[in-house]
Amino acid sequence: MDEIIFKVREDEVESGFVATALGHAIATQSDTLEELREMARDALRCHFGDGSPGPRPKIIRLHFGRDEALVV
């Protein structure tokens, strides 16, 4: 595995950001985007440093999605 993808959403209640890895039990949160980048790196190092099987990904991809609901 060369990369891991985190789905990022804005936390509307507390402000800031929440990132959850797709296919792995990894999640992190932060107040700013810069902090989120570092928190994702740290979460990845912790997860794969704890003896998780397989090699550690070399790239972290942050996917920013935005859902919008429309009233019909």
70, part of any domain = no
pLDDT tens-place string over residues 10-51 = 887 878 999 999 999 999 999 999 999 999 999 999 998 866
34 CB burial (10 A radius; 0-12, 13-18, 19+) = exposed
Q: Which domain holds residue 13?
A: 3-64
How many domains, the chain? Answer: 1
49, part of any domain = yes
At CB < 8 A and 24+ separation, what contacts does 31-35 make? none
pLDDT score of 66 more than 80: no
